[in-house]
């Protein structure tokens, strides 16, 4: 959260409220729980949308720590590579989503795309916690695997069903 997710192109940062500290007396029943709930900012559709948008921005475009050593001025080559590769994941996710939907009926394997969609919903769309680029790391490998499976499926289908120009008469 301390590093702008769109740097060096923009200095935009998310707007998060301050931390809330709550003390609960378990012997008091629900009284302290109700008071703690009342002290929180109101939950509205606009607030949920803003938090979700911020989460997606930080998840897909935020640098991943510790491999992108921002405070160390990107001294290591792997840090530089990871820092600039963060621009790849959102467009690749969108392309892979459309590619998967276009081939959904023809692809027998559905576990990996389902896992990727569930990950996006749980990690990116639920405004439960603050996201960072490091939470994207498990997704990156799964996304690449899905793209490779889609490409391999397309090549196998092209090999099994030659076009009319290639078929013997």
**Owner of token pair 């290591």:** 76
Count of other CB atoms within 10 angstroms of residue 108: 5
d(CA 72, CA 56): 25
Residues in contact with 165: Cβ distance below 8 Å, sequence separation at least 6, in sequence order: none
d(CA 62, CA 72): 16
The rounded Cα 111 to chain-centroid distance in angstroms is 18
CB 112 within 8 A of CB 146: yes
Q: Please tell me the pTM assigned to this model.
A: 0.72
Quote the pLDDT of residue 114.
87
Strands (DSSP E) found in 13-155 = none
Positive or negative, the CA dihedral 67, 85, 145, 123 is positive
The helix, strand and coil proportions of the chain, stated in percent and rounded to the nearest 5, come to: 60, 0, 40
Closest C-alpha among 57, 31, 30, 33 to residue 125: 57
The C-alpha R_g of the chain, in whole angstroms, comes to 22
pLDDT by 10s per residue, the chain, length 169: 677 788 788 888 877 766 778 888 888 888 988 988 888 888 889 888 888 888 888 888 888 877 766 665 567 777 778 888 889 999 999 999 999 888 888 777 788 888 888 888 888 888 777 788 888 888 888 899 998 988 887 665 556 555 555 555 5
Quote the pLDDT of residue 71.
61
The rounded Cα 33 to chain-centroid distance in angstroms is 32
Output the CA angle 77-80-83, nearest 5 degrees.
150
Count of other CB atoms within 10 angstroms of residue 36: 14
């Amino acid at each position: 959260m301390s590093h702008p997710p769109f740097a060096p192109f923009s200095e935009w940062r998310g707007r998060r409220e301050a931390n809330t500290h709550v003390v609960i007396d378990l012997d008091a029943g629900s009284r302290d729980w109700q008071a703690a709930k009342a002290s929180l900012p109101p939950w509205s559709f606009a607030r949920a949308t803003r938090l979700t948008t911020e989460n997606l921005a930080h998840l897909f475009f935020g640098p991943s720590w510790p491999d992108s050593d921002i405070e160390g001025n990107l001294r290591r080559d792997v840090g530089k590579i990871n820092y600039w590769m963060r621009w790849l994941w959102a467009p690749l996710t969108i392309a892979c989503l459309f590619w998967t939907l276009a081939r959904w009926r023809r692809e027998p394997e559905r576990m990996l795309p389902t896992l990727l969609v569930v990950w996006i919903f749980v990690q990116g769309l639920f405004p439960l916690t603050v996201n960072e680029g490091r939470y994207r790391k498990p997704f990156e490998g799964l996304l690449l695997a899905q793209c490779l499976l889609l490409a391999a499926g397309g090549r196998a289908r092209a090999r099994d069903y030659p076009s009319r120009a290639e078929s013997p008469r």
